[in-house]
């Protein structure tokens, strides 16, 4: 279990249920939730009512199904704007995209997983919230490994405990040791490679975003397909990538929120 022990009382339980509904990625019946949830019937029922009342979930009376609520979209907009690296990094990502002409991802760590907070892609027009918010495992992605390799010991320890080490492809790290073994190389080179570890045919080069005090706050990757490019090709983008992550790191360090006055 990648789940950590929760000690946050009623609120924690309610949010756990929110996560539960989210994992379905489709409207879901009460009984379906009941069968997976730890909570007894009446308790689960009450939580669903409360969350629906609050707009965190929505309930379709005709179909008798729960979905995620729009209040989340509103709240996330605020989160994305004021708490993610996206607004800060936007310019640098634009520049990087222009330089390399490949798909760019901006990621941060959330509960041991990689959370994509922004993206640039050379071809198709896309809407931010549609793609932002997607998650991926940390142990088998360039963005994930780039962050993990630069984490402080106890933060890393916590993150590693949350990895499930699902072996997506033949080259996926299948245990903790194998993953850790790569960190020295990543730290030495300053970049991490995804060698089709998450998806066959998809490779990437990723670099961490570091604050001036050394803390990792996120990472940027340049991703492509094996049919278009080799790892060697990606390596030629390294200078531009590092320049971008450096610039974002500097911006994140000096960034001050607007004075309260």
Partner DNA sequence: GTAGATGTTCCAAATAATGGAACTTAGTTT
Partner DNA sequence: AAACTAAGTTCCATTATTTGGAACATCTAC
Note the residues at the interface with DNA (CB under 7 A): 8-11, 13, 29-31, 34, 39-43, 45-47, 64
Q: Which of the listed partners (its own copies, DNA, none) does 129 bind, with a CB threshold of 5 to 8 Å by partner kind?
A: its own copies
Burial of 59 (0-12, 13-18, 19+ CB in 10 A): middle
Indicate the SS3 state at residue 155: helix
If phi > 0 it is left, if psi is from -120 to 50 it is alpha, else beta; for residue 195 that is beta
Our finding on whether 10 is near its own copies (CB under 8 A) is: yes
Q: Minimum distance from CB of 117 to its own copies (Å)? A: 7
Q: Minimum distance from CB of 181 to its own copies (Å)? A: 29
Our finding on whether 260 is near its own copies (CB under 8 A) is: yes
Per the CB < 8 A criterion, the answer to whether 209 and 219 are in contact is yes
C-beta closer to its own copies: residue 25 or 227: 25
Q: Which of the listed partners (DNA, its own copies, none) does 45 bind, with a CB threshold of 5 to 8 Å by partner kind?
A: DNA
Q: Minimum distance from CB of 261 to DNA (Å)? A: 11
Q: Minimum distance from CB of 154 to its own copies (Å)? A: 14
Per the CB < 8 A criterion, the answer to whether 110 and 143 are in contact is no
- 109: Cβ contacts below 8 Å, ≥ 6 apart: 115, 138, 144, 147, 159, 218
Q: Minimum distance from CB of 123 to its own copies (Å)? A: 13
Our finding on whether 250 is near its own copies (CB under 8 A) is: no
**Residue 258 to residue 3: CA distance in whole angstroms:** 36
Among 3, 25, 227, 254, binds its own copies (CB under 8 A): 25
């Amino acid at each position: 279990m990648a789940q950590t022990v929760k000690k946050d009382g009623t609120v924690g339980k309610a949010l756990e249920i929110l996560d539960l509904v989210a994992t379905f990625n489709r409207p879901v019946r009460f009984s379906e939730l009941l069968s997976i949830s730890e909570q007894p019937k009446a308790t689960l029922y009450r939580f669903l009512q409360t969350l629906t009342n609050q707009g965190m979930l929505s309930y379709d009376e005709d179909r008798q199904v729960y979905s995620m609520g729009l209040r989340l979209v509103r709240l996330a907009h605020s989160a994305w704007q004021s708490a993610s690296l996206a607004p800060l990094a936007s310019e640098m990502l634009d520049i990087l995209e222009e330089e390399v002409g490949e798909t760019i991802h901006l990621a941060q760590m959330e509960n041991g997983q990689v959370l994509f907070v922004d993206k640039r892609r050379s071809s198709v027009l896309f809407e931010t919230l549609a793609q932002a918010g997607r998650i991926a495992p940390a142990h088998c992605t360039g963005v994930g490994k780039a962050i993990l390799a630069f984490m402080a010991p106890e933060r890393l320890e916590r993150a590693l405990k949350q990895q499930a080490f699902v072996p997506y492809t033949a080259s996926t790290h299948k245990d903790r040791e194998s993953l850790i073994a790569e960190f020295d190389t990543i730290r030495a080179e300053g970049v991490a490679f995804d060698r089709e570890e998450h998806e066959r045919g998809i490779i990437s080069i990723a670099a961490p975003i570091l604050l001036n005090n050394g803390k990792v706050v996120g990472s940027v990757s340049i991703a492509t397909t094996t049919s278009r490019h080799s790892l060697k090709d990606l390596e030629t983008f390294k200078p531009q990538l590092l320049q971008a992550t450096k610039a974002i790191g500097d911006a994140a360090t000096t960034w001050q929120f607007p004075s309260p006055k």
